[in-house]
Structure 1
């Protein structure tokens, strides 16, 4: 795993680094510490990452400027901050976890384990950040009808027929989104409320018909569970 720590207090950064090495062990491929906002933005632009550990106050600079960029990337972000009142907003932007300062090793390990277990969040994400012409656009989750996996990327299909590309994989978005989205196929997540019905075609092939007229495949192994849950 490739990890970036963005923290302006050297003492805390060293503590996070020590705990990270201890928790991840041999799975840690690289660990970098940066203490300024601009350096972090440049590093993210030029280096592949799996996880960002981010403080929200960087020498008086607002870490949310970096957070908005980070959540549009392929990796997950864990915020480590003393500003507990910003936790809800951070979750709404799409962070994997918010670790309040002061913290211990167990709390940080819990945040790492959330990524490894691929469990869903209890706090609802309200936006998905996507890159648009050198800027970041926050897409309200309410506008997302379904999501299609496209290799390491995903395609967001939105109300009004719009479509956006997201850098996160389907698996990572599934972790962030609330249970209102269901994995109905290896390549599709769909908002449950948008499903009009399930169509059974010849050869035991299943399709979900959406309210907007779209049809998306339903995995054979998922059909019985989905039918029992929705209909």
Structure 2
């Protein structure tokens, strides 16, 4: 059972979220408090020490970031709720921070709760919040790659290629590092988009700027000396992209 605090300054949204939580996770969620302001949220989180917090980003007298900067207790799962549009949603994805888009969908809410039940770590890394704030203010140029060992902040230009195997993806970086994350490549395909990146194969996504050569037969030679196949269904789109880039 997760002791839960909802930080939201709109009453109708608080009530709707409460009802949905009772519907989708009645045996997992215990709502212990609601907060409408930054000050109230800080006091309740530090006093009640919840397991889970739903945090609205825009509050009447500040933001969810203000809350997170002022609390002393931070050992909880965090799910942002936001009405931001696609550019900002990508910022959450780049920062590896969980979120729900308003109006909240019950199925997505259930999935989010199931997802946190698989996580052991409850402390939100400050570098994640810093990256999120940075990404919300401009077009993201870095991505956070979470592993069991650490949170890696990687510049997009450092990503040479990605290779997926089952539910894992390995990022090959220009400095020779390899970072494996426990997410499939499809989770990153919307973030690593053309013209800088291109998914040439079901198992491979490459940085176009790191291509040394490619053949009509469908093989791409990368500057780390790796050779990546182009799937038959991707050839026409890939060659078209190459012509546009030249």
TM-score w.r.t. length of structure 1: 0.57
Pair 1:142–1:55, CA change in 2 (3 A): farther
Name which of 139, 153, 159 aligns with 2:154: 139
Give unmatched runs, 5+ long, in structure 1: 23-27, 42-52, 64-68, 71-76, 113-121
Name which of 64, 67, 74 aligns with 1:60: 67
Pair 1:20–1:130, CA change in 2 (3 A): same
Structure having the larger proportion of residues in strand: 1
Give the match's secondary structure for 2:209: helix
8 A contact 1:96–1:176 mirrored in 2: no
TM-score w.r.t. length of structure 2: 0.54
2:219 is equivalent to residue 207 of structure 1: yes
Give unmatched runs, 5+ long, in structure 2: 34-44, 58-63, 71-75, 109-137
**Separation in 1, partners of 2:157, 2:212:** 17
Pair 1:141–1:32, CA change in 2 (3 A): farther
**Separation in 1, partners of 2:95, 2:237:** 30
**Separation in 1, partners of 2:5, 2:197:** 31
Name which of 180, 190, 198 aligns with 1:165: 180
8 A contact 2:170–2:181 mirrored in 1: yes
Cα distance, 1:217 vs structure 2: 1.2
**Separation in 1, partners of 2:79, 2:97:** 6
**Separation in 2, partners of 1:211, 1:30:** 53
Partner of 2:234 in structure 1? 222
8 A contact 1:125–1:176 mirrored in 2: no
Aligned length: 182
**Separation in 1, partners of 2:26, 2:204:** 32
